[in-house]
Amino acid sequence: MSYIEKKIDSEEKYRGVIVNVRLDHAELCDGSVVKREVVEHPGGATILPIDDEGYCYCVRQFRYPFQKELLEVPAGKLEYGEDPYECAVRELSEETGFTADEIISLGEDYSSPGFSTETLHIYLARGLHRGKSHLDEGEFLSVEKHHIDELTQLVMDGKIADGKTIIAVLKAKRLLESEK
């Protein structure tokens, strides 16, 4: 049986700087018609920089919707037509000042597939070279150094709640363990 939903029509409800919102009518596999609210997002890339001793460089920044600071992996929104790999490289440099000899894809994450088109591309950066960060206008953050084992424990203890960071840390930890 196929569970494909066929879009009947679509109406843009909001056009913003980061997201657009539309209301679709869709036909379900049983023939019934439902409304689907869709948040269109260009997607993004996130990158976990890790040095030869297993230390990772994360960023702490205030997240307005939650009204608190979060510890996260460096990340950013894709620019129109931008390759996710290039976005990850850009964000690594902008937020931490690092460049890397090796960048490994750790896969993708559909952040909220029930209503959003956002896809996050997740990377691991190794062979780090320190440079100077150059934050976007209106961006304020600090870079923190944590061992991968400590980050993994923070994830497992529920002290890191950001989904992209959880995925990046656990996938990186698994990859590093498989290389031993």
Q: Which residues are catalytic?
A: 137
By CB atoms closer than 10 A (0-12, 13-18, 19+), residue 126 is middle
Sheet strands (E) in the chain: 6-15, 20-27, 33-40, 44-49, 55-63, 68-72, 75-77, 99-110, 119-129, 142-147
| Alpha-carbon span 55 to 75, nearest angstrom | 18
Alpha helices (runs of H) in the chain, residue ranges in sequence order: 84-96, 148-156, 163-178
Q: Give me 135's structure tokens.
A: 């934050």
Q: Tell me 155's DSSP state.
A: H
